[in-house]
Amino acid sequence: MAYRKTKIICTIGPATNTLDKIRQLAEAGMNIARINMSHGDQKGHLEVIKRIKSFNKTAAIPIAILLDTQGPEIRTGDVIEDFTLKVGDTIEIQAGLEHPESKSVITVNYRDMLKDLKAGDRVTLDNGIINLEVIEKTEFGLMCRVVDGGIIKSRRHINLPGIRVNLPSITAKDVQDIMFGVKNDVDFIALSFVRTAGDVEECKRMVERYNGHAQVIAKIEDAQAVQNYKDIIAVAHGIMVARGDLGVEVPIEELPIIQRRVVKECALQGKRVIVATHLLESMIENPIPTRAEVTDVANAAYEEVDSVMLSGETAAGKYPIKAVDTLDRILKRIEASGGIGWSRDFKSDEVKAALAESAVELADHLKTEAIVVFTRRGLTADFVTAYHPRYATVFAFTNMSQVRRKLLLNRACYPYRIDFSSDPEKTIKTAFALLLKKKLLSAGSKVVIVSDIIAGSERVESIQVRTL
C-alpha cells in the first residue's frame, strides 16, 4: 500500500462544520482540522471541537485539532454603504474609529496608525487587492492616493508593509482563545504574526501555565519574522509558512525564496513545517484547480514539507471534499518521484537522534516498507521522521492518545496507541498483530524496529530488522 507522506490540514468552516462533512474530509485525506479564531466565536468553535472528538471515538485514525489565533489584526471599521475606489482617487483614513461620519472616509481600529506612517508608505486592504499610498497627514488622519482600486466593505483586513506596528504579538483575545484551546484539549496552537522567538516562548509558557499539552506552531507572515526565522524555528515545535499575509508584507517576488529558505531551515533543525494559503484557491469556486496551483502543491511536496493546509477551499468552498481528494492525489504522485533531501543534513547531539538516523539509513539501504517506532513522549518518532525515510512509512506506537494525535503532523508518520508491556518483546508482538490485523502491512514484510530491549538486568535501546 502507498501511504501519503505529506499530511493535510483542513480549515473547518460553514461548508464543513457538520459531523458528516468532517467524516467525509477525513475519508478524503484530512489529518488535522484547523479552527480559525479569526472567524466565529468560542461557542461555535466548541461545537466543532465536540464533533471532531465524537468522530475520533470510532475512527480508525483520529483527527488532530489545530487552533489558529487571530493575532494583532488591523481592520477597517463599518462603512455606511459599500463604495468603489478608482485608481487616482484620494481617500482619507481616520484611525481609532469604528464608525465613519462620511461615505468618503475609511476608519481603522489601530490608533497609532497616524504615528507609524508617513508620506510614501503603503496601506493594503483585502490581502493586497486594494493598495493606497500615503500622501500626507491631516488633522484627523492620513490622506491617501489609490494605487489599485476596488470595493470598500466593512471590516476588511489591513496590512502595513514594512511598518513595525505598535501592537502586542499575543493580544487579549489571543490569550482568551489559547485558554479556550487548552481547556478543550487541542493538539496544536498556531500563533499568528510571530515576530521574535520571545513571542513563541511566551505562548509556550502560557500553555504550560494552564496545564496544557498543545504544541506551538509559529506562523511566519511578516517581514520581522522573516528576519528572525532561524531563532523562531529553534524554539517553536513547528512552523507555518503563512503565505497570505506574508505575500503582502514582503515583495511578492521574494515569497518563493522565503518559503524555500524557511522549509530548508526547518529540515536542518529537524522541525515540522506547514505550507499554507492559496494552494487550491480556485477550487473555492471551481471543481478543478489551475495548472499553476497543481505545480505549487507539487513544489511543496518536492520540498518535503510535513504538511500542507487548505483554508477557504474547505472552510467556505463549493467543493471541499473534492479539494482534499485532489490534494491527496497530487501529493502521492509527486512523492513517488522523490524529494529534495535537505533533511539528510539534519544533525543533533541527542542520543535518540543518532539512533533514529542510523535506523533511517538502514531502512533506506534495505528499502524496507516500514520503520516501527515505540515512543512514550513522541521524541524518538520525531527524530525518525525528521530524517525523512526515502522508502519506509513510519508506524509509531505510543501508549498515550495525546502523543498519537501530535504525531499526525509528522511527515510519513502513522501513529497508533497500544498498551505497553513491561516486556518490550510483548509490546513488539502487539504492534505486529495490529499492523497485520488492520492490513497496514502484509505478512513477510521486512521492517526496521526502534525499541528498547531487555539485556540482562537492563533495558537498552536497539535497532532491529525483522520480518512480519
Domains 7-71+169-336 and 74-159 share a fold: no
123 pLDDT band (50/70/90 cuts)? very high
Helix, coil or strand: residue 397: strand
**DSSP character for 322?**
H
Helix, coil or strand: residue 424: helix
Q: Which residues contact 382 (CB under 8 A, 6 or more apart)?
A: 270, 407, 410
Helix, coil or strand: residue 300: helix
Q: Which of 76, 88, 63 is nearest to 8 (CA)?
A: 63
Q: How do the domains of the chain map onto residue ranges?
A: 7-71+169-336, 74-159, 347-467
- Cα distance between residue 457 and residue 455, in whole Å: 6
- Cα distance between residue 432 and residue 275, in whole Å: 34
- Cα distance between residue 128 and residue 164, in whole Å: 18
Q: Which residues contact 242 (CB under 8 A, 6 or more apart)?
A: 192, 219, 220, 221, 276, 277
Task: Identify residue 422 by its one-letter amino acid code.
Answer: S
Q: Please compute the mean of the pLDDT values over residues 396-418 and round it to a whole number.
A: 96
Q: Please compute the mean of the pLDDT values over residues 271-275 and round it to a whole number.
A: 98
Q: What is the percent of the chain where pLDDT is above 90?
A: 86
DSSP per-residue string spanning 26-64: HHHT--EEEEETTSS-HHHHHHHHHHHHHHHHH-SS--E
80 pLDDT band (50/70/90 cuts)? confident
Catalytic sites, residue numbers = 34, 75, 219, 277
User: How, if at all, do strands 105-108 and 90-95 pair?
Assistant: parallel
User: How, if at all, do strands 74-75 and 157-159 pair?
Assistant: antiparallel
Give the pLDDT score at 264.
98
Question: Fold for domain 74-159?
Answer: M1 Pyruvate Kinase; Domain 3 (2.40.33)
User: How, if at all, do strands 90-95 and 141-148 pair?
Assistant: antiparallel
Give the pLDDT score at 1.
63
Q: Is 189 exposed, middle or buried (0-12, 13-18, 19+ CB in 10 A)?
A: buried
| Degrees to nearest 5, angle at CA 410 with 373 and 242 | 170
- Cα distance between residue 331 and residue 329, in whole Å: 6
Q: Count Cβ atoms below 10 Å from residue 241 Cβ, excluding itself.
A: 25
Q: Please compute the mean of the pLDDT values over residues 40-57 and round it to a whole number.
A: 97
Q: Please compute the mean of the pLDDT values over residues 391-415 and round it to a whole number.
A: 96
User: 3-state DSSP: the chain helix, strand, coil percent, rounded to 5?
Assistant: 40, 25, 35
CB 308 within 8 Å of CB 10:
no
CATH, domain 347-467, list 3.10.20.30, 3.30.1370.60, 3.40.1380.20, 3.30.750.24: 3.40.1380.20
Domain 7-71+169-336 coded CATH 3.20.20.60: yes
DSSP per-residue string spanning 199-246: HHHHHHHHHHHTT--PEEEEEE-SHHHHHTHHHHHHHSSEEEEEHHHH
| Degrees to nearest 5, angle at CA 182 with 177 and 187 | 105
Q: Which of 229-238, 243-252, 268-277 has the lowest mean pLDDT?
A: 243-252
Burial letters 214-238, b for 16+ CB under 10 A, else e: bbbbbbbbbbbbbebbeebbebbbb
97 pLDDT band (50/70/90 cuts)? low
Give the pLDDT score at 452.
78
457 pLDDT band (50/70/90 cuts)? low
Residue 259 predicted with pLDDT over 70: yes
245 pLDDT band (50/70/90 cuts)? very high
Q: Which three cell numbers stand for residue 269?
A: 533543525
Q: Is 422 exposed, middle or buried (0-12, 13-18, 19+ CB in 10 A)?
A: exposed
103 pLDDT band (50/70/90 cuts)? low
